[in-house]
Chain A
């Protein structure tokens, strides 16, 4: 990185900011659209509203069990439901940092900043591992 005693952010910082900005706007936009489809009843929910309002006061394990809700990435197979389609926007918002990191790695390597390139690669591994669900899925 080349922030060395120069005004303004480094090129990789600007690159990161630009991708983060676009990702955030896309994610929020998608989330608002999908939530409108859900809340206005344009798409039927998997969990009926009356059952949802009873179950959201229970621990997650009971909620999942009683409503027969799959965990992890199973929501990808349920995008036909108004509630599950919202996970597109949520997952996008939670994944945008991974994209930002992936984007700056080549710039870091190009500028010879091997230490930060390695740290960035490790961060991608950590965030991707968390996203995959290998640390467990399915409540308590």
Chain B
């Protein structure tokens, strides 16, 4: 049964690959003439990109990370695309993933609009600043900062604990005024969970930094959103993860517009990446039941560390 569902899930990916290959061969002689500097035909890198992002989509789901955080360091490190275009595509990849997941998360009540709205205003405003700064800085400086950030994310993934239901003795004044609280049913136990948050001013202040980094590197920001919402502000883990995912649909929107208006969006990069990540996530969700998440998580940390070192070495000119 699982085998059949996996095969069914893989079919759209095969169909898209076939379509791309078909498009490539349809262009026939033209393609042969259109050879880029590395000698490969024009369709070569988009197809490799589609395959790579499909695998990334699978790994992202299994490793519990967003697609954007894998996309930017890996594609900028190992593909011929300039970092400017990779960041633009990375933001749109993260945005599309958040848009696809957002409606379901909001309807189920796991993502809280009440929690997201104030946070989103700060993060999206600061993402604009981050995008502008990121596009103004020399590429090697951004590459070095990206490498350092990715290595920092690895450390965060290795050390940060998660709290399913953090203890929040009392709401702070700001969250009380904003009425940031809610209730949901924990399906695994059937328990009704009343939740509230605390340390809201510090949490909101940290979203200034998160917004700037999301805009500067085009990473998405789930890796930072969840620890702040869960460990600092005390939102339950499920609420934090769901709200973080939805939040990206707003934070990344503002930065994506900056990259788009600056000409950093190339459809030939964006669409295969977007389709690849989404199909990969679709398959990833289905095989999540049969793999060991701990192993995958270690693999993701390993891949990120390698990509982070690669970004660092590129920035330093090694």
A residues engaging B (CB < 8 A)? 1, 3-10, 12-14, 16-18, 20-21, 23-24, 27-28, 31-32, 35-36, 38-41, 48-50, 52-54, 56-60, 63-64, 69, 71-73, 83, 86-87, 90-91, 93-98, 104, 115-116, 119-120, 122-123, 126-127, 129-131, 133, 135-140
User: Are A126 and B262 also in contact (CB < 8 A) when A9-B109, A20-B99, A94-B95 are?
Assistant: no
Q: Which of B28-36, B59-67, B309-317 contacts A (4 or more CB under 8 A)?
A: B28-36
CB of A59 within 8 A of CB of B139, answer yes
Chain B at the A interface: SS class: helix
Contact of A123 among B114, B124, B255, B264 (CB under 8 A): B124
Contact of A9 among B99, B113, B185 (CB under 8 A): B113
In the complex, chain A residues whose CB is within 8 Å of the CB of B253: 94-95, 97-98, 127, 130
In the complex, A129 Cα to B192 Cα: how many Å?
A: 41
In the complex, A72 Cα to B96 Cα: how many Å?
A: 21
B212 to chain A, nearest CB (A): 14
User: Are A72 and B261 also in contact (CB < 8 A) when A7-B185, A93-B92 are?
Assistant: yes
CB of A7 within 8 A of CB of B103, answer no
CB of A16 within 8 A of CB of B113, answer yes
- We find that the number of chain B residues with CB closer than 8 angstroms to chain A is 80
In the complex, chain B residues whose CB is within 8 Å of the CB of A120: 117
B residues engaging A (CB < 8 A)? 19-20, 23, 26-27, 30-31, 33-37, 40, 42-43, 45-46, 80-82, 84-85, 92, 95-96, 99-100, 102-104, 106-109, 112-114, 117-118, 120-121, 124-125, 128, 132, 135-136, 139, 177-179, 181-185, 192, 194, 249-250, 253-258, 260-271, 274-275
